[in-house]
Structure 1
Amino acid sequence: MKDFYTSTQWKNKRAAILSRDGYMCQRCKRYGRQREATTVHHIKHYDEYPELALDNDNLISLCEACHNFFHPEKAKKSNKSRGNHRYF
């Protein structure tokens, strides 16, 4: 799995999705907020649906706080207290 995220194919797809979404967090946008996206998230998780790994409809641009909402187990200690949204 780690190899996938360092692959040129993923890096190119990630850049394309961020560009598609205007480099804005799509979850924040849904709530009328503007926040820069830093992560591309698999809606259906890569480890369960590897066949959807590069499917545009399965990828969404998120800010760090929104991505941590979906993956609290991956959130760094230092990030847990900052940038979290109260509307989740």
Structure 2
Amino acid sequence: MPTIEYKTDKQKKSFYNSRAWRKLRQQALERDNYECQWCKREGKVTVDSIKEEGKRKEIVLNVDHKYPIEHYPKLALILDNLETLCIYHHNVKEGRTIDKISRNKNKKKRWDDEWW
């Protein structure tokens, strides 16, 4: 049986739009009590937002593959390979955040004169 690949954006989009993924994602959220597991390990609590009628639901949590599907396609639909993370920690894990120090260091001042 050939292995399914998730290398291209089209392949990933197809996977993340599948009924099997949506069902497993929901199971992971329920198992993790709709809480970021990274925050929980740090003694903090980050929970999912509540849908308000007439408004778009704010995305607070992601269900993350501990082992990425593009490298471990056989683990794509394994519940034990999933973990609920808040957007911030998901971005940290994926290397998509800039720490505050480097962000402020590169920030250009508006004025060079002194403030009293």
- Asked whether 1:19 is paired with 2:20, we answer no
Aligned to 1:4: 15
Q: Which 10-residue stretch deviates more, 10-19 or 30-39?
A: 30-39
CA–CA separation in structure 1 for the residues paired with 2:25 and 2:89: 17
TM-score (norm 2): 0.61
Q: What is the Cα deviation at residue 49 of structure 1?
A: 0.3
Q: Secondary structure at the match of 1:72?
A: coil
Q: 1:30 aligns with which of 31, 38, 41?
A: 41
TM-score (norm 1): 0.79
- Which structure is higher in helix share? 1
Task: Give structure 1 stretches of 5+ with no counterpart.
Answer: 82-88
Q: 1:42 aligns with which of 65, 77, 90?
A: 65
Identical amino acids, percent of aligned pairs: 39
> What is the Cα-based RMSD across aligned positions, in Å?
1.6
Cα deviation, 1:38-88, whole Å, max 9, x if unaligned, reads 110000011000100011111000000010111234x7xxxx78xxxxxxx
CA–CA separation in structure 1 for the residues paired with 2:41 and 2:93: 16
Q: Secondary structure at the match of 2:64?
A: strand
CA–CA separation in structure 2 for the residues paired with 1:21 and 1:68: 19
Task: Give structure 2 stretches of 5+ with no counterpart.
Answer: 1-11, 49-60, 100-116
CA–CA separation in structure 1 for the residues paired with 2:95 and 2:43: 23
CA–CA separation in structure 2 for the residues paired with 1:70 and 1:2: 20
Aligned to 2:95: 72
Letter in 2 for 1:15: Q
